[in-house]
Amino acid sequence: AAAAAADAAASGAKEVASPALLMRSLTGTVSEAASPALKDGGEEATEVERLQARLKSVEARLKGASEARREWGLQEAELKQAMSVLSEENSQLEAKLAREQEKLSKAREAKKKAEAEAGEIKEGWRAEAETVAEVTAELEASR
């Protein structure tokens, strides 16, 4: 297993090893390194201890990385849920805005129409006032 992991790393493989696979390969590497070291003793035993300490360090980092990945996944899910809620609210507000803009447009059209009708009524009153003034002038002139 260690040789396969080393071969994959040496060949520049783009695959990312799972934490479990990485742990198995490191454990195999330590075990393989420990066998000759136990026969020779001394420096090799120290090297095995160093490798075992390094393995524990890597295990701790992998555990921390796995926990961080899990937490990031939870945060990502929360953020996606929040984005979904905000997107829905945004859609509802856009629909409401479109309805309100339509109402405003209709109100503006009604205002223009009412102003035009008011202008026509005023013009009619002026014409009536002129007619009344002419009739009044004629009546007074005939007296």
| Three-class SS state of 134 | helix
**Chain segment 78-105, per-residue pLDDT in tens:** 999 999 999 999 999 999 999 999 999 9
Q: Which residues contact 68 (CB under 8 A, 6 or more apart)?
A: none
pLDDT digits (tens, 9 = 90+) for 28-77: 554 555 555 445 557 888 999 999 999 999 999 999 999 999 999 999 99
